[in-house]
Amino acid sequence: MKFRAKIVDAACLNHFTRVSAMVAKLARTCALRISPRQLHFVLAERAAGGGASMWCELEQENFFSEFQMEGVSAENNAICLELAAENLSRALRTAHNARALKVKLTNRHFPCLTVSVELLSVSSSSRIVTHDIPVKVIPRRLWKDLQEPTVPDCDVSIYLPVLKTMKSVVEKMKNISNHLIIEANGNGDLNLKIESDLVCVTTHFKDLGNPPFASENASQDRNPAHMAEVHVDIRKFLQFLSGQQVNPTKAICNIVRNKVVHFDLLHEDVSLQYFIPALS
Q: What is the pLDDT of residues 182-211, one digit of tens each?
A: 999 999 999 999 998 889 999 999 999 999
Question: What is the spatial distance between Cα 126 and Cα 5, in angstroms, rounded to a whole number?
Answer: 19
Q: What pLDDT score was predicted for residue 108?
A: 84
Give dist(CA 169, CA 157) in Å, integer.
Answer: 21
Query: Residue 216's pLDDT band (boundaries 50, 70, 90)?
Result: low
Q: Is the pTM of this model over 0.85?
A: yes
**Which pLDDT band holds residue 264 (cuts at 50, 70, 90)?**
very high
Is 265 a residue whose pLDDT tops 80? yes
> What is the reported pLDDT for 172?
94
The identity of residue 79, as a single letter, is I
Residue 95 host element (H or E) = none
Alpha carbon distance 242, 166 (integer Å) = 10
Instruction: Return the minimum-mean-pLDDT range out of 41-45, 154-158, 173-177, 259-263.
Output: 41-45
Residues 189, 59: Cα–Cα separation, whole Å: 34
pLDDT band at 48 (very low <50, low <70, confident <90, very high): very low
Nearest to 96 by CA among 22, 13, 21: 13
**Interatomic CA distance for residues 35 and 39, integer angstroms:** 6
What percent helix, strand, coil does the chain show, rounded to 5? 25, 40, 35
pLDDT above 90 covers a percentage of the chain that reads: 73
